Every structure is written in structure tokens, then in C-alpha cells.
Amino acid sequence: MNEKFTAWCGLCCIDCIPSNKDLFDLVHKLEENLSDLQFDEYAKLKAEKNPVFGEYPVFIKVLKEIKSLKCSIPCREGGGKTVCEIRNCVQGKGYLGCWECSDRYSCTKLDYLRSVHPNLDYHLDLIGKYGPDSWLSKRGIHYRWQKENGGK
């Protein structure tokens, strides 16, 4: 694994939904196809008999919001959130990442990430032990709704 995919906070950028290129390519393609077909007009017609098609504008709104989640470059190379107190903190201390921090276990800045990414501390321990370029093969699930041994 390339070190660039290990974010300052210990997340693996490869596993983040916003970095999923296939997903965003598909969303882009779907939006284009729907627009070429003037599917909005078709949806209005279909809505006369099936009210679900009346929700088509909401569907398009959600597609646009999904597109806005896209993150094209790893956090370490300038991607990620525009403002991140974790990144600021790590860089301010001159660390490579939170795995180098002795205050990590009591750090409340990581609490939100811990609630979404149940392996965050386990992964930070792995990174501390194997280094930011060699821990990938040992990592567990990324998001709390995923199942261990059932994919990423």
C-alpha cells in the first residue's frame, strides 16, 4: 500500500465512499443519460398513473448530492474536508498521523470518527506497529454498517 492513502486520522482513503471512482463515474453517466432522454418529461407522464414518478425531481436532487461527495485525491495529498481539526492538530504537532500521538486514547477530536469507523483505534494501532505504508492487508471494516469478513 502506498502511504498516501493513510489519512492523518488513520482512515484508509481507498475505503471511503467519497473516493469510489466507479460509483461517481456511474452517477455521472446516469445523470447524462437521463438528461439526454429528457427523462424529467417522461417521469411527469408516468406520474399520471404512478405517483412514485412524481418524486423524480427528488431523485435527481439526491444524485447531485451524491456527486458532491466525490473526493478525487487522498486526504494526505490535499483531499478530504476543506477544514479538518484533526488534520490541523496532527500537522501542528509535526506528526505523520494520530498514531504517533501519546494523547490519542483520550482525544475527543476523534470521537465522531470512532462512532462511524469502529476500527479507528485498532487501525491506528496497526499503523503505529507496521507503518502507514504496510498496514492495509491487516485492516478491518471501514464503516460501522459493514460486516467483518464480509467485504471492506
Residues contributing to the site for ligand SF4 (CB under 6 A): 7-9, 11, 75, 80-81, 84, 86-87, 89-90, 93, 95, 98, 101, 103-104, 107, 109-110
For the bound state, the minimum distance from the C-beta of residue 6 to ligand SF4, rounded and expressed in Å, comes to 10
- Tell me if residue 116 falls in helix, strand or coil: helix
The residue (of 46 and 114) whose beta carbon lies closer to ligand SF4 is 114
Q: With respect to ligand SF4, which residue has the nearer C-beta, 92 or 151?
A: 92
CB of 64: closest distance to ligand SF4 in angstroms? 22
Nearest approach, Cβ of 126 to ligand SF4 (angstroms)?
15
User: Rounded to an integer, what distance in angstroms lies between the CA atom of residue 70 and that of residue 85?
Assistant: 20
Q: Which three cell numbers, joined as nine digits, stand for 99? A: 498514531
By beta-carbon proximity to ligand SF4, the closer residue of 29 and 93 is 93
Secondary structure (H, E, C), 54-97: HHHHHHHHHHHHHHHCCCCCCHHHCCCCCCCHHHHHHHHHCCCC
Q: Which of 67, 94, 71 is nearest to 8 (CA)?
A: 94
In angstroms, what is the minimal distance from the CB of 74 to ligand SF4?
A: 8
Nearer residue to ligand SF4 within complex by CB, 24 or 39: 24
Which residue's beta carbon is nearest to the bound ligand SF4?
80
Amino acid at the residue 31: E
Distance (Å, rounded) from C-alpha 90 to C-alpha 132?
Answer: 14
